[in-house]
Amino acid sequence: MAIVPLERKPLTFAERTYIPQIVAGLKTTWKHLVRPKQTLEYPEQRPAIPAGYRGVPTLVKDPHGREKCVSCQLCEFVCPPKAIRITPGAIALDDPTGHVEKAPQEFEIDMLRCIYCGMCQEVCPEEAIFLQNQFSMTGYTREEMVNRKARLYELGGTLPDTHFKWDKKKAAEDHGNALH
């Protein structure tokens, strides 16, 4: 097996001095100097959030400030990276809302594990968990990136309630009022 040497054409004077490459680089630099600015001064300026954006999962309360979560743990079971942890807690029977089976004693979402898939929001029967439009979650430690129940309600706020789980037999009361 013979080795055949390759013939290379000799470089021109311009190629030996790298002038075409330097001119091409300066041309690119000049384009960026005269082009309008494309960067945003974050955090003062923020990009527009597109419709359907899936951001930080949060818990929401009903218009009366009561927890909507009944601690059914469906969001915990459906979460692919297992970022949600719920400790169910019982509600005392003498409490005005004692007719509700349970409420979360502890609820936490590890934002370092969350993949923002939205499955927790889809599966929630009480519409207690929502993905907000917030996209900048930061912290200095791993512990700061775990959102606990109080923080989740702080981020979530209040949304209208269509399930009326806190109202005792709302449908029965409406039916009783209609009979009188």
Q: What average pLDDT values come out for the chain (180 residues) when binned by 10 residues?
A: 85 86 93 86 84 89 84 94 93 71 89 93 91 84 94 87 62 49
Helix (H) or strand (E) holding 57: strand 57-59
Q: Residue 168: its pLDDT value, please?
A: 61
Q: Residue 167: its pLDDT value, please?
A: 63
Q: Which fold has domain 67-160?
A: Alpha-Beta Plaits (3.30.70)
Q: Residue 74: its pLDDT value, please?
A: 95
Residue 133 DSSP code: S
Q: Residue 169: its pLDDT value, please?
A: 55
Residue 98 DSSP code: T
Question: What does the block give as tokens for 112?
Answer: 């370092």
Q: Which one, of 120, 92, 104, lies nearest residue 66 by Cα?
A: 104
